[in-house]
Every structure is written in structure tokens, then in C-alpha cells.
Amino acid sequence: MTEHAKPPRAAFAPFMMGHHFGVPFHRDLQRRIIEDCLDLVVTAEQSGTIRDLPLTWAQARREGMEIERRLGLRG
């Protein structure tokens, strides 16, 4: 989809629709995504660059559930 829109540059995180920055309360992951996107703005050498971020939804969700348990939000 992103390739067809032809943005000047884009970062792709393979997460579920509506979870652009991962899961709630996962500050480290959210910061990493933002930093990776800002890095792409600076380092993209040509228009149309799309960077696949080395992330998985399964791993983000597992880590998110552990964070929720530590916060007492999940039993």
C-alpha cells in the first residue's frame, strides 16, 4: 500500500491497524519507533525510500502484556 502512495520516505512497522507505535505503555518501543523514523528523515538518500523496521507484532504484544502485568493492569 505504501509503495503505491509513493511518499517521499516512510517507515513500516508491521503492527495491527491502529497500533502505529506498538502497544500502550511500552515507552521504549514507542521511543525506538520515533527515533527510527527521525533517523530516516535524515539518512534517506533518495525519494521513495521505505524502511522496514525490524519489529514484530507478536514480540511487541508479549512485551506489552508483561508491562501491563507489572503495572497491575493485567492479572
What are 7-45's pLDDT values in tens digits?
889 999 999 999 999 999 999 999 999 999 999 999 999
What is the C-alpha separation between 12 and 51, in angstroms, rounded?
6
Count of CB atoms situated within 10 Å of the CB of 40: 16
What is the C-alpha separation between 66 and 2, in angstroms, rounded?
31
Q: Taking the model in full, what pTM does it have?
A: 0.85
Residue 60 has a pLDDT of 96
